[in-house]
Amino acid sequence: MVKLQINGKTVEAREGEMLLAVMQRMGIEVPTQCHHEAIEPTGNCRLCMVEITKKNWDGWKKCVTSCLYPVEEGLIVETHNDKLFEIRKTILDLQLARSPHSDYVAKMASEYGLEKSSYPVEPQGDDCIMCYACTRICDVLGKSAIAPTMRGHEKIVAGPFGEAPPDCIGCLSCAFICPTDHIKWNDKGNTRTIWDKKFKLIKCKKCGKKTITREFADYLIEKRELPSEYFDTCDICKRQETADTMGALVVKAREATI
């Protein structure tokens, strides 16, 4: 265990734990965009920055992203002060100019008193805030079908060579994890479309309800050694099957006792 001080309070934390986790446990709120429990932290959004120092640093302070900074013995952490407020506000201000149509950004910015950006707004700016949540979740999935490409202000997330990603299995994890709902997809009939790629949806063999894509199911079957018949029926029909099977057992048992 490691002892450190956050906003004047002494806390204990596990070795290797990140500051953000400890802060969240203490109920301290800092804004985050790129943070998600299921993925590795990368420190893209910079909003969770805190200021750290140590007794022997002679008053020298340093801004670090708390999602990535492992706890250290004797660390003194400040999570809210004027400087940090200014950093967070400026970041949101910049995003407001870049993604003027995003409700998500607008809501976060309004918490810092920002109704409109101080910078020239880009009317065509899309909602992608480059948090990499989508690419990171795809990495965790083991597919890495999409990745950030190009650089600087032109950077986008896309499949290789900007084309439909060959490795995508249409699981929608990227779209679901996207904080700004920038990643668009749709299900029409038996077909799902995402990243300009089309997928067949599995139809429940009993009721016809659509479940996940064939590619996603096959991936799970292979990767996680699951029996393929689990994926043939939808959850509702599987529940009924369960009732029927158990019911039959009860009936059988009852008949046996008579």
Partner 1 sequence: MKIDSIAKLDKWRKEIQTKQKAIKTKILICLGPGCLAGGSDKILKEFQTILKKKKIKDVLVESVKKTGCHGFCARGPMVIIEPLGIFYSKVKKVHVKDIIEKTLQKGEIIEKLLYKDPDTDKIYKEWRKIPFYARQQKIALRNVGQIDPDEITDYIVNGGYSALAKILKGMKPDEVIDQVSKSGLRGRGGAGFSTGRKWVTCAKAEENPHYVLCNGDEGDPGAFMDRCIMEGDPHTVLEGMIICAYAVGSQEGYIYVREEYPLAVVNLQKAIDDARKFGLLGDNILGTDLCFDLKISKGGGAFVCGESSALMRSVAGEIGEPRAKYVRSVLKGLHDKPTVLNNVETFANIPVIIEKGADWFAAIGTKKSTGTKAFSLAGKIKNTGLIEVPMGIKLKEIIYDIGGGINDNRKFKAVQTGGPSGGCLPADKLDLEVDFDTLADNGSMMGSGGMVVMDDRTCMVDVSRYFLNFLVEESCGKCVPCREGLFQLHKLNEKICEGKGTEDELKLMENLSKTIISGSLCGLGQSGPNPFLSTIMYFRDEYEAHVKKQECPGGVCKKLITYKINDDCNGCMACLSVCAASAITGKKKEQHTIDEVKCDRCGACYAVCNINAIDII
Partner 2 sequence: MKYCFQVIPELCTGCRTCELACAFKYAKDGKPGRSRIYPLAHAKDQYVPVVCFQCDDAACVRACMFDALRRNDETGAVELDKERCVKCEACVAACPFGCALTDTDQNEIVKCDLCQGDPVCARFCPEAALKYVEIED
Residue 37: CB atoms within 10 A of its CB come to 6
CB 80 within 8 A of CB 63: no
Residue 12 structure tokens: 């204990």
Residues making contact with partner 2 (CB under 8 A): 36-38, 137, 140-142, 171-173, 176-177, 202, 211-212, 216-217, 220, 223-227, 229-231, 233-244, 246-248, 250-251, 254
By a kind-dependent CB cut-off of 5 to 8 A, residue 234 interacts, out of partner 1, partner 2, none, with partner 2
By a kind-dependent CB cut-off of 5 to 8 A, residue 165 interacts, out of partner 2, partner 1, none, with none
In the complex, the smallest distance separating the C-beta of residue 118 from partner 2, rounded to whole angstroms, is 33
User: Does 23 help bind partner 1 (rule: CB under 8 A)?
Assistant: no
Residues in the chain: 258
Q: Give the span between the Cα atoms of 146 and 92, in whole angstroms.
A: 26
CB 108 within 8 A of CB 92: yes
User: Does 65 help bind partner 1 (rule: CB under 8 A)?
Assistant: yes
By a kind-dependent CB cut-off of 5 to 8 A, residue 3 interacts, out of partner 1, partner 2, none, with none
Q: What are phi and psi of 20, to 5 degrees?
A: -60, -40
CB 8 within 8 A of CB 107: no
DSSP state of 134: H
Return the half-sphere exposure (C-beta side, CA atoms, 13 A cut-off) of residue 14: 6
Residue 241: CB atoms within 10 A of its CB come to 12
The amino acid at 155: K
Residue 106: CB atoms within 10 A of its CB come to 17
In the complex, the smallest distance separating the C-beta of residue 116 from partner 1, rounded to whole angstroms, is 14
User: Does 64 help bind partner 1 (rule: CB under 8 A)?
Assistant: yes
By a kind-dependent CB cut-off of 5 to 8 A, residue 225 interacts, out of partner 2, partner 1, none, with partner 2
Query: Per-residue string for binding with partner 1, 76-115, x by CB under 8 A?
Result: -------x--xx--xx--xx-xx-----------------
Q: What are phi and psi of 147, to 5 degrees?
A: -155, 155
Nearer to partner 1, 99 or 233 (CB): 99
User: Does 26 help bind partner 1 (rule: CB under 8 A)?
Assistant: no
Of the residues 118, 228, 240, 245, which one makes contact with partner 1 according to CB under 8 A? 118
User: Does 130 help bind partner 1 (rule: CB under 8 A)?
Assistant: yes
Which residues lie near partner 1 (CB under 8 A)? 41-46, 49, 63-65, 68-70, 83, 86-87, 90-91, 94-95, 97-98, 118-120, 129-130, 132, 147-148, 150-155
